[in-house]
Structure 1
Amino acid sequence: MDLLILGGTQWLGRSLATEAVARGHRVVCLARGESGEVAPGVELVRADRSSDNASAAVAGRDWDAAIDVTRQPGYARAAAAALADAVGHLTFISSGNVYASQNEPGADERAALLPPLEADESTPETYGEAKSAIERAYGEVFGERFLTIRPGLIAGPGDASGRSGYWVARAARAARDGGPVLVPDVLADAVQAIHVDDLVRFTLDQAERGAAGGVAAGAFGTGAYNAVGDRGTFGEVLEAATAVAGYRGELVAASPGWLADQGVAEWSGPESLPLWIRDPEWRAFQDRSNAAAKAAGLVLRPIGQLLEETLAWERDQGLDRARGAGLSAGRERELLAALRS
């Protein structure tokens, strides 16, 4: 099929383009081309989506399907208006952040959404509202020709944020250099991670079905899906990470309150301990139902395999490199000393 990807030069978008080409699709990416190169076999149409008529270069062609990954409502509103008659089926990569409540374990796609952001530009603080606005913008235009995918934590090779690979990389460094390893004492907390390639395959499967007729053809390809991993616990992630890395040393657990008092960030970012969420209002962000997606064909690799593949990529990038997420070695030593004093 003829597939248009709005974006497509960063991690998820490029992975979508790479897999689409491997499936034999003709792929065009509409992007500035400044965030990275397009995948081999992909045509790049350069455009700045913040400018007027950014979609003009592709609106005159017929597309079986399109995929958008944006977080800017203005980009989506403009694309919906320009491409309504040119695109047969549209998929939007949304986020689990669109839900109004993040403290209902096991909630599915019927849960209430955040009110859509009225502004055209989003900020990190309005990320969920912005994704909600984009879902509405595309849904109003494409109707039953529209599919929205709501991932949570995307993991695996290529994760430039550094968060999904931190624990297995940290365990590998400890196996090499010796421990101990500082961990948050949240072992029973829920964790859900989906390998980027599993997300890509599910997204393209649904886009292909939608382009072929969706509900009218008795297939899937429309509506909304929580494309998230199976529910596990933080303790299970640590157990798998240490097993994959071959680390058998000590894990030193610190309470969430103590870590917060020491200024240790949660979830992601520099000098953080990734995947830990202290706020009880967000306790179910990594505990959503993926039953609908699995019924539609989502296949998930085991957490051990996910971490093995991630560790191979982490080693290639360099275990000792400066990371976008996680504690630096010096800061971790300071915290361990303080905890034991």
Structure 2
Amino acid sequence: MLHSDRLLPGAYDRVTGDWDDVIELAYEPQLVGPALQAFAPRAAHWTLVSSVSVYADNSTPGANELAELVEPQDLTMYPDAKVAAEKAAAERIGDRLLIARPGLIVGPGDPSDRFGYWPARMHRGGRVLTPATAGRYVQVIDVDDLAQWIVQAGVDRRIGAIDAVGAVHTMDDFFRAACTATGFDGELIAIGDDALLAHDVHYWAGPRSLPLWLPIADAGFVRRDGASFLATGGCLRPLSETLQRTLTDEVERGVDRPRRSGLTTSDEHEVLDAAR
């Protein structure tokens, strides 16, 4: 197997031989094109790791792989670039192509901090700021579950587009599971969307955000149908296990470390005090 995002374009011509499976993680045009040119003729099977971000509609619960895709116009935008990568791969690979579209990938080592923020925050205890949970859901896939399925799907020569997504949990259930995993005995303080936005708290990810929080109108983004993943051999460990694995990793890396997503301690205190 070749992970093509690990090679610079200039190195492609130094790789020889035929390949049982190429796993393409890159989506940037300057990487996708050269990889396809170099390896498409020599790959028995090609797995492109895409994303559920390729779908145009994030409002419909239970949507599957037949849903409409974004029309790629600006390839500096993540969804557009992912769709463009899918189209380029389909043109070159044809019936040897598996397009894996994961949901949010979580677990040990996650650099995005979108999932790990919560067990780390609850591990610290005290008053924890959360979004209002009514009508909100969490859908994630453990990185090890995804990796095992990708490897086996290559062996089995799976083709077509498959949404590699986890089980859907209400946000209330997610927070309860996170509290149990961390032994949290503090207070969860839920604040409504209008107040959070007024205090410059951002959705989903990035600095000064509440990770996993999405507008109600986009709830379908985390309620996608995972039937195809399960039907093609995908296995999902319990959410409690993923939370425990993530917590162990967060403690090892430091629960107070600088993060790419979430609220800093001072930001959280500021918003809690202002909202109160």
- Per the alignment, residue 271 of structure 1 pairs with 208
2:133 maps to amino acid: V
- Per the alignment, residue 196 of structure 1 pairs with 143
Native 8 Å contact 1:101 1:112 kept in 2: yes
How far apart, CA to CA, are the structure 1 residues paired with 2:53 and 2:29?
15
How far apart, CA to CA, are the structure 2 residues paired with 1:279 and 1:233?
13
The partner residue of 1:163 within 108, 114, 121 is 114
1:198 maps to amino acid: D
- Per the alignment, residue 286 of structure 1 pairs with 222
How far apart, CA to CA, are the structure 2 residues paired with 1:266 and 1:304?
24
TM-score, with structure 1 as normaliser? 0.78
Q: Deviations over 1:267-322 (max 9, x none)?
A: 01112110001261x22111100001101111001111100000000000011111
- 1:64 offset after TM fit, Å? 1.1
TM-score, with structure 2 as normaliser? 0.96
- 1:54 offset after TM fit, Å? 4.4
- Per the alignment, residue 105 of structure 2 pairs with 154
Structure 1 or 2: more helix by fraction: 2
Native 8 Å contact 2:145 2:235 kept in 1: yes
Please list, as runs of the form range in 1=range in 2, the aligned pairs for 1:1-341 lying within 5 A after superposition: 3-7=1-5, 30-31=6-7, 48-49=8-9, 53-58=10-15, 60-117=16-73, 122-123=75-76, 126-174=77-125, 179-210=126-157, 221-278=158-215, 280=217, 282-340=218-276
Native 8 Å contact 1:185 1:254 kept in 2: yes
1:106 maps to amino acid: G
Identity in percent = 40
Q: Deviations over 1:157-210 (max 9, x none)?
A: 001111111111111000xxxx21111002431210100000101111101111
How far apart, CA to CA, are the structure 2 residues paired with 1:306 and 1:81?
38
How far apart, CA to CA, are the structure 2 residues paired with 1:287 and 1:200?
21
How far apart, CA to CA, are the structure 2 residues paired with 1:173 and 1:188?
27
With a CA cutoff of 8 Å and minimum separation of 6, indicate the structure with the bigger relative contact order: 2
How far apart, CA to CA, are the structure 2 residues paired with 1:310 and 1:188?
25
How far apart, CA to CA, are the structure 1 residues paired with 2:182 and 2:40?
49
2:13 maps to amino acid: A
How far apart, CA to CA, are the structure 1 residues paired with 2:211 and 2:134?
13
SS at match of 2:196: helix
Q: How many residues align?
A: 276
How far apart, CA to CA, are the structure 2 residues paired with 1:307 and 1:95?
22
1:101 maps to amino acid: D
Q: Deviations over 1:88-108 (max 9, x none)?
A: 110000000111111111000
How far apart, CA to CA, are the structure 2 residues paired with 1:75 and 1:333?
43
2:121 maps to amino acid: R
- 1:248 offset after TM fit, Å? 2.1
Native 8 Å contact 1:72 1:130 kept in 2: yes
| Structure 1: gaps of 5 or more residues | 8-29, 32-47, 211-220
1:330 maps to amino acid: S
Cα 1:238–1:102, aligned 2, differ >3 Å: closer, same or farther?
A: same
SS at match of 1:55: helix
SS at match of 2:147: helix
Native 8 Å contact 2:136 2:216 kept in 1: no
Cα 1:73–1:279, aligned 2, differ >3 Å: closer, same or farther?
A: farther
2:20 maps to amino acid: D
How far apart, CA to CA, are the structure 2 residues paired with 1:84 and 1:312?
40
Native 8 Å contact 1:188 1:235 kept in 2: no
Question: CA-atom RMSD, angstroms?
Answer: 1.4
How far apart, CA to CA, are the structure 1 residues paired with 2:185 and 2:11?
54
